[in-house]
Amino acid sequence: MGWRKSLVLLISVVFVLGFVFGALAQEGASELEIQTANAAFEAADKGNPDPAWKGQKLTIAVYSAGPRGAISGPLYFWRPYFEKLTGATYDIVEIPFGELREKIFTDLMTGTGTYDIIVGPSWFYGDYIMNDWIVPAQEFFNDPRMPKWEPESIALPVRELYMWGDKLVGFNNDHDGQVIYYRRDILSDPKWQEEFKKEKGKDMPTPPWTWEEVYEICDFFNGKDWNGDGEPDYGISMHLKVGGQGFFHFMALSAPYVVSPAPGDNPAKVTRYHNVYWFDPETMEPLVNTPGFVEALNMLIKLSKTGPSAMFGWSLGEAWDAFLRGKAVMCWSWGDVGSLAQLPDRSSIKGRLGVAPIPGSDKYYDLETKQWVNKKNFVANTVGASWHGVISKYCKNKELAAYFLSWQATPQINHWNVVWGWTGVDPGTSYDFLQPSGKATIEEYVATGYDAEDARQFVTAYEEMWTKYPLRQTYLRIPGTPEMWEVYDIHLSEAVTGQVSPEEALNRIAEEWKAIVERYGKDTLKKIYQEAIGYKPE
C-alpha cells in the first residue's frame, strides 16, 4: 500500500471514530434520565402539532457548552422527542459566550435570519425591543396548537424578565439569581464555632445574613486548614477575571447597599429614588458612583482578600471548582453550584452543602435624602442570564418555533430540566419549590442524585429570596446593556486588582455609561429604561 493510500485510510479511520465517539457523547444519558424524561414527555401537554410542520427544520442559536453542557445540553437531549412529536427537527448552533452578541446581533441587524430561535440572555432585551427583532410569546399563547405552560408559576422577579410591560415576550426556561453557598459541616462544627467565638468575640452567624457577616466568616477561615488536607484553605471563592462574569458578583453584593425601599404601603414600588439601581429614571444619570456602590465595592475588595489571589484571573469554572473541591468555605453564585455539588466527579462536598438567600446589608444609602440609613436591607436579585428562548422576527416558521419553545416551557419538561442539574436550568417556579408552599417533593430531587438536605436548602434558598424578600433589584434591559456591562466588568477588575481606587473605577464606569447613553440617544433610552423597570413618572 502506498503512503497516499495509508494516509487516506488513516484520515478515514479518524473521521469514523470521531463520528462514533460524537454519537456516543450525545447518548451519555443514564437509564434513569431516559425513564424520567419519558415520563415527563408523556405527562407534558403536547398541544396539537400541525401536520404541515412535518419535514420542516428550525435553527436554534445557543451559548456553547456542548451536548451535555449547561443550557445547550437540553436542546440536544429533547431533539428526538421533538422529532417524534412533530416530524420536524432543528439544528443547534453553539456560539461561544464571548461571541454571542456579535453573532446574534449581526444576524438580526442584517436581517439574514440564520437563527429562528435564540436561546439567549435576558440582557439582550433592550436591543431586541428597540429594534423590534423578536416576536412576543404572547402572540402564540392562546393558539390551540401550542402546548400549555404556566407563566404565573414562575417566581415574580424572574417572570418579569420574561415580560415587557404586561406582555409575555420570552418562553420559560432558566431562572437565574445568586444565593450564598457555604460549608454546612464546617460552619456548624462546634470546634470551629468555639474558635470563632474566641477570635471574633461573638457567635458564628450560621447562615450569614449580611455581607458583614459573610466577611467575618471568610476572614476567620481564610488561611486555616479547616478541611484537614495539611494546607491552608480559603474563605471565599470568586471569579474576577475580565470576561469571567465576575461583575455579577458585584451586582448581587451591591444591591442591598444601593436599592432602598419606597416609603408608604408598598416598599417595592419603583420611584425616582427607590428600588432603582442603574440610572436615575428621570435623567438617565448613572447611579453607579453613588455612595452605596462605593461602600459595596469596598466590601467586595475586602472580601476578595479572604480568598486566593488567583481569583482575579479566574472564570466561573475555576471559582466553582475551588468551592466544590472543598478549598473555599463559601461562594455566592447561581443555581449551578447547588446541582454541581451533587456530582461525584465534580464535587467532594455532597451532603455538606449549606445554602441561604443572598445576604443583605446593615445599612443602605437613600438616594432621596442622600443619607445612610442604618437598617438591615434585603434585596432579591435575578442577576445572570436566565437563558431562555425568543423567536426571531426573521424566523420562517414562527408557529413551529413557538410550539417547540412552549413545549419546553411546560411544567413537566421544564421541571425535568431543573432536577437534572447538568442541564444548567436553575429552579425558579412553584413546581420546582418544595411542598407545602411549592409543588415539588424532595424525593424528585433525591431520585436524580441530590442529597436530601442539600436539595432542601438549595431550593428553599431560592424560594425565600424570590418570594419573601421585600425588595428586588431591577434588571438592566436597555439598548447597549452588553456594552455597559463590559465597561462595568473592566473597571471593577481595575479596582479589585488595585490599579485604581474604588471611587475612580466607579467614576470611570459612570462616565462611559453616560457616553453610551448619549450615543444611543438619551430620550430613547429613558423611555425604554422606564418601561423595563416599571417606573411611571408622576
Partner 1 sequence: MRRRLREKGNAFVIPAIFWVLTFTIFPLVYSFRVSLSKVLYGKLAGFAGASNYLRMFGDYRFWGTLRFTLILVLISVCATTAIGLGLAVVFNRKMKGLRVFRSILTMPLFTAPVALGYLGVMMFYEENGPINVLLKYLGMGKVPWLSHPLWATLAICLVDIWQWTPFAFIILLAGLQSISDEIYEAAVIDTSSGWAIFRHITLPLLSPVLGTVIMLRMVDAFKAFDIPFSLTSGGPGTATRTLTFYIYTQGLRNFDLGYASAMAYFLLAITMVIGLLFFRRYRELYE
Binding site for partner 1 (CB under 8 A): 98, 101-102, 105-106, 109-110, 127, 131, 240-244, 308-313, 322, 480, 482-483, 486, 490-491, 493-494, 496-497, 499-500, 519-520
Nearer to partner 1, 35 or 106 (CB): 106
**Minimum gap (Å) between residue 119 Cβ and partner 1:** 20
CB-nearer residue toward partner 1: 465 or 487: 487
Phi, psi of 14 (to 5 degrees): -60, -45
**Could you tell me the smallest distance in angstroms from the CB atom of residue 307 to partner 1?**
11
Q: Which residue number, 113 or 313, has a Cβ lying nearer to partner 1?
A: 313
Smaller CB separation from partner 1, 154 or 328: 328
Nearer CB in complex with partner 1: 268/500: 500
The burial class, CB within 10 Å (0-12 / 13-18 / 19+), for 112 is: exposed
Nearer to partner 1, 139 or 504 (CB): 504
Task: Give yes or no for a contact between 356 and 461, defined as CB atoms under 8 angstroms apart.
Answer: yes
Residue 495 C-alpha cell reads as 479596582
R_g of the chain, CA atoms, integer Å: 24
Q: Which of 459, 215, 463, 456 is nearest to 329 (CA)?
A: 215
- Give the HSE-up count for residue 26: Cα atoms under 13 Å, Cβ half-sphere: 13
Q: What is the DSSP letter of 425?
A: P
In the complex, minimum distance from the CB of residue 77 to partner 1, in angstroms, rounded to a whole number: 28
Q: Strands 163-164, 57-63: parallel, antiparallel or unpaired by DSSP?
A: unpaired
CB-nearer residue toward partner 1: 74 or 244: 244
Nearest distance from C-beta of residue 122 to partner 1, angstroms: 18
Task: Tell me the closest approach of the beta carbon of residue 315 to partner 1, in angstroms.
Answer: 9
For residue 179, the minimal CB distance to partner 1 (Å) is 25
Q: What are the backbone dihedrals phi and psi of residue 415, each rounded to the nearest 5 degrees, phi first?
A: -70, -35
> At its nearest, how many Å lie between partner 1 and the CB of residue 120?
15
Q: How far apart are CA 33 and CA 81, in angstroms?
A: 14
Beta carbon nearer to partner 1, 34 or 109:
109
Report DSSP state, residue 160: G
Q: Which among 121, 132, 43, 165 is positioned nearest to 485, based on CA atoms?
A: 121
**Smallest separation, CB 11 to partner 1 (Å):** 19
CA distance 330 to 320: 10
Residue 305: count of CB within 10 angstroms of its CB: 14
* Residue 310 C-beta: closest distance to partner 1, Å: 4
Q: Smallest Cα–Cα separation from 71: which of 106, 96, 105?
A: 96
Grid cell at residue 398: 414562527
Closest to partner 1 by CB, 174 vs 489, is 489
Give yes or no for a cis peptide into 207 (omega within 30° of 0).
Answer: yes
Strand, coil or helix: 181: strand
CB of 108 to partner 1, least distance (A): 9
* CA dist., res. 310 & res. 324, Å (int): 16
Is 470 or 521 the residue whose CB approaches partner 1 more closely? 521
3-state secondary structure at position 117: strand
The x, y and z cell numbers of residue 43, run together, are: 405527562
Q: In this structure, what C-alpha cell is assigned to residue 442?
A: 424532595
Question: Among residues 23 and 310, whose Cβ is nearest to partner 1?
Answer: 310
Q: Which residue has the cell 453613588?
A: 290
Nearest distance, CB of residue 537 and partner 1, angstroms: 26
Exposure of 237 in the CB half-sphere (CA atoms within 13 A): 25
CA 110/CA 316 separation, integer angstroms: 32
CB 240 within 8 A of CB 304: yes
Closer residue to partner 1 (CB): 242 or 262: 242
Bridge pairing between strands 57-63 and 117-120: parallel
The distance of closest approach from Cβ of residue 464 to partner 1 in the complex, given in angstroms and rounded to an integer, is 34
Minimum separation from the CB atom of position 501 to partner 1 (A): 13
- CA–CA gap between residue 444 and residue 419 (Å, rounded): 7
> Which lies closer to partner 1 via its Cβ, residue 429 or residue 493?
493
